[in-house]
Amino acid sequence: MSARRDAAAAFQFLSRFPVKDGGDFSPELLRRSVVYYPLVGAAIGLSAAAAAAAAAWLLPVWPAAVITLILWVGLTGGLHLDGWMDSADALLSYRSRERMLEIMKDSRVGAMGVLACVLLLLLKAALLAAFIGGSRYYELPLLLLPPVWSRWYMVRAMARFPLARGNEGLAASFAALPVRQERRAMLLAALLTLPAAAAPLVLGAGGGAWPQHLAAACLAPLAAIACGGYAARRISSRLGGLTGDVYGALNELLEAALLLLLVLLQHNLL
């Protein structure tokens, strides 16, 4: 029952899936639930892949991509986009550390946050259009990889970087997160990657599909670690640690980076 409750809490916290019995979001429950963040990502990725398949069958590539992105954002309730906008407002203000943290607390969105959000959504839509337009039916399960590994990296960031506000804010609920939670989440993410890697076999594709799928499965975690680590270190050096908004911003950044990876692999550019 504890594992089920922890998983339900992860779904309730990170998504808009109609999941019950998540508990009261106590700090202890939140710290346990991070193990299941990749599972939430897999559910979002599977939903996005199914939407992409249906939309691409009925519509041209760009409308299909936009509909897929709308569903993708809707399933998160815009939670991570809010962190992306708040982080952009603060970090692109080039103010003092204290002032940047104050900007993140402000519920209003500034010009830099709006601009960052628009550009991010345009980039994601373009990458989805490129991927959907060049995909065969057995390649769409690769859309599981960006949401799985971006959410795993949030757990890594919680475990390996200090908190910018100490005991203040939502991020304080994840203070002193054991590294073993990151490792358990990584194991789950790796297991959830297997269906995407095995899609050619399961869906009856030819042997020529294997290289792209194996490369994507192997490179996605490496890209998440490299890109996420670079961004987290830069942000931590400016803020003196990370915040809950930054966790969301890292998720959005890595989803875009991993979508780019899929497009590059699809077009044999890597």
165-193: pLDDT as tens digits: 877 777 888 887 899 999 999 999 999 99
SS3 242: strand
Selection from 15, 41, 24, 4 nearest residue 155 by Cα: 41
Tokens 């095995």 sit at which residue?
198
For residues 132 and 142, give the distance between their C-alpha atoms in angstroms, rounded to a whole number.
11
Q: Let me know: does 241 contact 161? Beta carbons within 8 Å.
A: yes
C-alpha of 19 from chain center: 19
Mean pLDDT (whole number) for 15-30: 83
Q: Which residue type is seen at 77?
A: G
**Residue located via tokens 């946050």:** 113
Tokens of 118: 């628009």
Taking 70 as the threshold, does the pLDDT of residue 204 lie above it?
A: no
CA 173 to chain centre: 20
Q: Alpha-carbon distance 128 to 92, whole Å?
A: 27
The torsion of the CA quartet 43, 78, 184, 156, rounded to 10 degrees, works out to 150
pLDDT at site 169? 75
Question: What's the pLDDT score for residue 173?
Answer: 84
Give the pLDDT mean for 248-260.
98
- DSSP letters along 141-203, please? GGGGHHHHHHHHHHHHHHHHS-BTTTT-SGGGGGTT--HHHHHHHHHHHHHHHHHHHTHHHHT
More confidently predicted of 105 and 156: 156
Name the residue ranges covered by the structural domains of the chain.
Answer: 2-266
Residue 28 has pLDDT above 60, yes or no: yes
Residue 215: φ, ψ to 5°: -65, -45
pLDDT for 80 beyond 80? yes
Q: Give the whole-number percent of the chain exceeding pLDDT 70.
A: 94
User: What is the percent of the chain where pLDDT is above 90?
Assistant: 71
